[in-house]
Structure 1
């Protein structure tokens, strides 16, 4: 009896360490990624693209932001393959270092006034490196939590790394807001925006210390012991899991578009179209992100009880309906109504994002899971989040109305709804999904 208690306590500590390592590391990596996005909305058009019209400068800044999304599938291909071949833990250490170093270098990058056209070129290159690191981060972090977790509560376990998104967003916007309060406009443009990027070095050091103490995924260790690893996991996914890959990609496209409208384009809309000051606009996003830290695991746990698909579909359908009320509420200039608009939009997103990790990873066999889930997740980013701010700004510039933007979001969410509807319900698959038939050739 005592032996069982000790074993149970050890198992709990191992799971807690795996989940906390995934959450903290993922939060830091999304901090780096969102820091760029928010700075693109507030600063980069002035510092790196100052010779063009402000709206065009914002488009160019968001264009450099989109480069990170193009790099993410490449990172998913490389690190997803390594995650299935060498283990989940190793890729998490490497990706955290890549993100941290590239973010720190952005913080010391001279602006257009100092080095001319080399400034936006170097900025775009560093953004590409950021995206490459993040492309390998998500799959490894989610699988470490899911594969260490209780098989009957995979939705809950896999949802914890998902809160890294609002935590990273909260941290990035919080530090930038603090710098806006501490500096005037001239000082913020000169050096204040750089401080949050340089802070990444300290945060990454903390994240590395935590991740190095996490043990490898037990499911990966079992696959390795049984000789069930695949020599080329990504090729196996493309050969035998094409339907699942399409579902994984399509199910997240609308989720991604809705997110970047509710948290990134909203800052541009509120500051440039509504006339709200920068501090108030970022506070709106902070309030919504803070509440999502609670709702994501709650909705992930709900997917263990009622199924992944019902929770996911409720969020997607709710977002389709809400987006047509979202912009009119922003146009009221009433701060409580603006906060309400963003909160409900983010709540619909959380209903999709909470079960998304378990939904996506459970589509694939265990020995190609990191490759398949990572690639599906990141491919959707190119069609979803990468283009969403650019398309939204372009649509507003062409039509001077929020309605085309709302229609665009609704169409992207329709793709998500169809993809989720054709997927199988996996919440009752409590055991490990059987590995693909092709074993490793030693």
Structure 2
């Protein structure tokens, strides 16, 4: 009996210790991710509301909006570069150090946006500096996403990877909620105050969040799967070469699945926000911000539920459901947003962001993790996800260019195309076990 107790106690202590480590990792990944997304989408909200007249004033309203959206897209164009660089060192040196570095890059760039001179104050140098800082934001976020989900997903039990990986994904709606909330507050300022100093406050406040995020992330342990790679002979010299050797199919699948995910965000949180805040629909702007706030908060609550369901039902059912909901709502969203009915406006974002995007985002992290071995997983996730997100970032720009001042329902068609493409990829993907891992031919499929 005593011998049995002497064995059980260390095992119990080890289990408690492992759970404590996992909780710290989940907390650090979620907080850091929320801060990075706050920084990134703070710029997105500002591009829809104030950056056009401040940095591109000598243009028509439509041309100013296009220019602001182009700088928004510049951050996405830089994300694959950040993915390649930080993915390489994340597979070579470790996940933890890269997460701290990406958070610092993103936070400093965001803070500096808040102290930039406007076009009226500095001329052409102002938009040049703005684009430069946006590119730095993109580089930082390009390395953040893969590392954040890996730290959580690689600490997870084998049958709960979807749940664990969904926690850093929750950082996206939390960051979106926070960035939208602060701009909702400053948007109530008189226009002169908003355009002179009010818009700067959300950017300047980000430096406080960065200090908190860095402190939290410095306290976590390295990914156990990366540690095992080191113990088994060390990381590969060129992780990206391993991604290439694995063949184009998983990379393309990951990129197209991510395209649908990012297209949803680009259309709902950027283009439609601008759509309902300018021209004849300008009066609906505050109501749309309210709807976006509610949708983002609901998504933050439902993302872990979606992650858990992807562990139980499989990744593909969640992906297909989410893409379908977002595509269908996109066809009626312009009319609902222009209706002036706060209930319909809230329903737009509750269905699209709170439910549809939550289902996709809750499943896609583990869906991508399971495609690649840990030796080059950081590089693979960073590249595939950022490629899809980069293409999707041109959705608002293309929609604004085609719609012009008439504000047609073009975004619904863009969204439908992106979601259908991503859904087709999910259908074509290899069948998965209930854990989401690629199944052997003899394994029981989950679908």
- TM class, shorter-length: over 0.9
Distance 1:77 1:244 in 2: 16
Distance 1:269 1:406 in 2: 12
| Secondary structure in structure 1 of the residue aligned to 2:57 | coil
Q: Which secondary structure state, in structure 2, belongs to the residue aligned with residue 310 of structure 1?
A: helix
Size of the alignment, in residue pairs? 431
Query: Secondary structure, in 3 states, of the residue corresponding to 1:424?
Result: coil
Look up the match of 1:353: 361
* TM-score, with length taken from structure 1: 0.94
For structure 1, list consecutive stretches of 5 or more residues without a partner in the other structure: 434-442
Counterpart among 48, 52, 59 of residue 45 in structure 1: 52
CA RMSD of aligned residues (A): 1.7
2:387 is matched with 379
Q: Deviations over 1:306-356 (max 9, x none)?
A: 000111111112222222222222232111111111211112111111101
- Superposed, 1:209-248 pairs within 5 Å as 209-227=215-233, 229-248=235-254
Q: Contact 2:288 / 2:337 at 8 angstroms: preserved in 1? A: no
> Which of 161, 164, 172 is residue 165 of structure 1 equivalent to?
172
**Pair 281,328 (structure 1): closer, same or farther in 2 beyond 3 Å:** closer
Aligned pairs for 1:181-260 (under 5 A) are: 181=188, 183-227=189-233, 229-260=235-266
> Whole-Å Cα distance in 2 between the matches of residues 373 and 145 of structure 1?
14
TM-score scaled by length of structure 2: 0.93
Paired with 1:244 and 1:251, the residues of 2 have a C-alpha distance of 10
How far residue 430 of structure 1 moved from its aligned partner, in angstroms, is 7.7
Per mean C-alpha deviation after superposition, the further-off stretch among 325-334 and 187-196 is: 325-334
Mapping for residues 409-420 of structure 1, pairs under 5 Å: 409-420=415-426
Residue 405 in structure 1 maps to residue 428 in structure 2:
no
Tell me the distance in 2 between the aligned counterparts of 1:155 and 1:119: 43
Structure 2 counterparts to residues 2-401 of structure 1, below 5 A: 2-181=9-188, 183-227=189-233, 229-272=235-278, 273-346=280-353, 347-384=355-392, 386-397=393-404, 400-401=407-408
Give, in whole Å, the separation in 1 of the partners of 2:286 and 2:406: 27
Return the offset for 1:398. Answer: 7.2
* Gapped regions of structure 2 (runs ≥ 5): 1-7, 440-447
For 2:246 and 2:341, locate their aligned partners in 1 and report how far apart those are by CA, in whole Å: 52
Displacement after TM superposition at 1:146 (Å): 0.4
Deviation at 1:276, TM superposition (A): 2.4
Say whether the 8 Å CA contact 2:89–2:98 is kept in structure 1. Answer: yes
**Contact 2:100–2:214 under 8 Å retained in 1:** yes
Within 1, Cα distance between the matches of 2:432 and 2:100? 30
Residue pair 1:45, 1:58 contacting (<8 A) in 2 also: yes
Residues 199-232 of structure 1: per-residue CA shift (max 9 Å, x gap): 1111100000000000000110011001152110
